[in-house]
Structure 1
Amino acid sequence: MEQKENKTVVLKSNNVTKVNRWGYFFLIPFFVIFVIFQLIPLVSTIYNSFFENYMSGLKKVGPNFVGLQNYISLFETGDLGTYTANTLIMWVMCFVPQIIVSLLLGAWFTNPQLRLKGQRFFKTVIYLPNLIMASAFAMLFFTLFADSGPVNSILVQAGILKEAYSFMSHVWSVRTLVAFMNFLMWFGNTTILLMAGMMGIDQSLFEAAEVDGATSNQIFFKITLPLLRPILVYVMITSLIGGLQLFDVPQILTNGSGDPMRSSMTLIMYLNKHLYSKNYGMAGALSVMMFIITGILSLIVFRLTNAKEVK
């Protein structure tokens, strides 16, 4: 009897091992794609950042090993700090209203007491801007807010403005337009993520709070928000990473110049200028610095939110 039981145990373990092997086979495509399209370019970028490699007219200079000189040049010009600040300012201007509106919409759509009609329609409508190409969105807003565009025409004819306002010539109007466009494109996606988190909260918690006499505001701030913290952290970090990669909207809206006075020039636009001039050494150094900045900021956000949870 014992021998038969031992044989059955061995056969079962062999079957489990064979099944596990198939799992490794299914993982092979992921690792192949990761190595080819992620790991190799990352290593190549770090390697090129230590070399002088650019085009001077029709003459190619390099590649010559220069050590940390490309990184030193980035800090000496002061452009890295300026463009990082520009990028973060426009991200904050976009993210703050985005998270507030998404939380409100998510709370309304998931509240069974409100019984909102046409929820499917409104959920579809708020997500639609996310499906529109950013380049098309930027061209639309560029046309709307041009000096002779329909927005200026309406404001002048209504007597609100005496003459056309040059939206593209003022620092904060350009930044506001960039932030507003990104808000419109992404608040629907954020709303759906937060709704999924809210729908996963146990309804008995809300019912118990109502029985104890808690108000709607108390339920939202004392129950909903604390339980949504993991999703909020995820949304904040992914939004931060996406914000640091902001490129297409300001690139098209300002025709790649970052004007006025480079106030809307982002880090990726700065990187694109180096790539366009074929200065691969500086582009590599800037890419590595962006990777470090993104990692540090993401870690700070994670630590701050995690510290509050521990308290």
Structure 2
Amino acid sequence: MNKKKQNHLSYAKWGYIFILPFFLAFFIFSLIPLVDTVRYSFYEYYRSGIKEIGPTFIGLENYAELLKSDMVGYAGNTLILWLIGFVPQIVIALLLANWFTDVRLKIRGKQFFKIIIYLPNLIMASAFAMLFFALFSTNGPINSILMSIGLTDTPIDFMGTTFGTRSLIGLMNFLMWFGNTTIMLMAAIMGISPDIFEAAELDGCGSFRRFFSITLPLIRPILAYTLITSIIGGLQMFDVPQILTNGQGNPDRTSMTLIMFLNSHLKSRNYGMAGALSVYLFIVSGILCFFVYRMTNGSDSTAKHRKHAKGGAKA
């Protein structure tokens, strides 16, 4: 007994030693900056030229000042840009995942298609933005093609309109991430027992009914994960609109996101306002993720309660 206890303790000790570097790195590079960010959000702390103002404790004034600023409008911009990219992403990903995992279709070259749709995810967002900036500029190849085939007489200023700029940003986010989403959903669908699909087919269940009644409910945890990570990524949207609009959020700041707004405070070295905005983003992320989790898991808990209630009534 003593030998077994000693071996157990020695294994536990080595386990703690192996995970210690992670906790040290997390403490130094994540936890301390996070605590400092929250602390500075209650202070007036910025630089004016070479003069440093603060840090002076001012309570919730930074939070109140942000609510009076254009932050709410930039939050709306972020939501719109996220929806433009995410809605077609999840629809196309679900469609492709269902096709590629359907044994009855007998699609050839599945591995090739998986690689092709995942390739855009390997390209850096900055390179993607520069590519689209060159393609859709007034002197770019897209305008040259449209003019050569006679669809337009003058170059179209894609990035000169709100609709054009937002559409390009949404298109880039869609192209970069739909492949990754498709692979995850394919893995989720392949985890469903084939016996369930065979039983549904024997009962005369059609493709649409099988998808909405069997596939979607059974991959709901992966859908929740996809939606939560997409929301967090949407709130952190920065590099694509930053490069495409040269950091200005043009036209008329309709493509300015919350992280671009945060970056402008950091560039002006207004650390108090930047800290308060970071706390706002953290709170919004937490609330949205909580609602998504409740929406995607609430019906399961309801069904369990109903089963327990029926079992109690029978007893």
Q: Tell me, which stretches of 5 or more residues in structure 1 are unaligned?
A: 1-8
1:68 corresponds to which letter in structure 2? L
Quick one: distance in 2 between partners of 1:225 and 1:281?
45
Deviation at 1:87, TM superposition (A): 0.5
**Of the candidates 12, 16, 35, which is equivalent to residue 8 of structure 2?**
16
Q: TM-score, normalised by structure 2?
A: 0.93
Q: Tell me, which stretches of 5 or more residues in structure 2 are unaligned?
A: 303-315
Q: Name the counterpart of 1:3.
A: none
* Aligned-residue CA RMSD (Å): 1.2
Bigger mean CA offset, 221-230 vs 163-172 = 163-172
Q: Name the counterpart of 1:5.
A: none
Which runs of structure 2 are paired with 1:77-226 in the superposition (5 Å)? 77=69, 79-226=70-217
Deviation at 1:57, TM superposition (A): 2.1
Quick one: distance in 2 between partners of 1:290 and 1:99?
24
Deviation at 1:303, TM superposition (A): 1.4
Q: TM-score, normalised by structure 1?
A: 0.94
Bigger mean CA offset, 213-222 vs 263-272 = 213-222
Quick one: distance in 1 between partners of 2:213 and 2:184?
20
Instruction: Report whether the alignment pairs 1:43 with 2:35.
Output: yes
**Of the candidates 220, 224, 244, which is equivalent to residue 229 of structure 1?**
220
Which string of whole-angstrom CA distances, capped at 9 and with x for unpartnered residues, describes residues 259-280 of structure 1?
1111100011001100111111
Q: Name the counterpart of 2:310.
A: none
Instruction: Report whether the alignment pairs 1:53 with 2:45.
Output: yes
Q: Name the counterpart of 1:75.
A: 67
Instruction: Report whether the alignment pairs 1:303 with 2:294.
Output: yes
1:199 corresponds to which letter in structure 2? M
Quick one: distance in 2 between partners of 1:15 and 1:54?
56
Quick one: distance in 2 between partners of 1:24 and 1:57?
48
Deviation at 1:60, TM superposition (A): 1.7
Which string of whole-angstrom CA distances, capped at 9 and with x for unpartnered residues, describes residues 34-56 of structure 1?
11111101000001111111111
1:238 corresponds to which letter in structure 2? T
1:140 corresponds to which letter in structure 2? L
Q: Name the counterpart of 1:6.
A: none
Deviation at 1:202, TM superposition (A): 0.6
Partner of 2:54, secondary structure, is strand
Q: Name the counterpart of 1:251.
A: 242
Quick one: distance in 2 between partners of 1:258 and 1:224?
40
Which string of whole-angstrom CA distances, capped at 9 and with x for unpartnered residues, describes residues 111-158 of structure 1?
112121111111111111011011111011011111121111211222
Partner of 2:103, secondary structure, is coil
Partner of 1:113, secondary structure, is helix
1:118 corresponds to which letter in structure 2? G
Instruction: Report whether the alignment pairs 1:266 with 2:266.
Output: no
Deviation at 1:300, TM superposition (A): 1.4
Quick one: distance in 1 between partners of 2:209 and 2:14?
50
Bigger mean CA offset, 240-249 vs 28-37 = 28-37
1:306 corresponds to which letter in structure 2? N
Deviation at 1:12, TM superposition (A): 2.4
What percentage of residue pairs aligned between the two structures are identical? 58
Quick one: distance in 2 between partners of 1:253 and 1:21?
51
1:35 corresponds to which letter in structure 2? F
Quick one: distance in 1 between partners of 2:301 and 2:207?
26
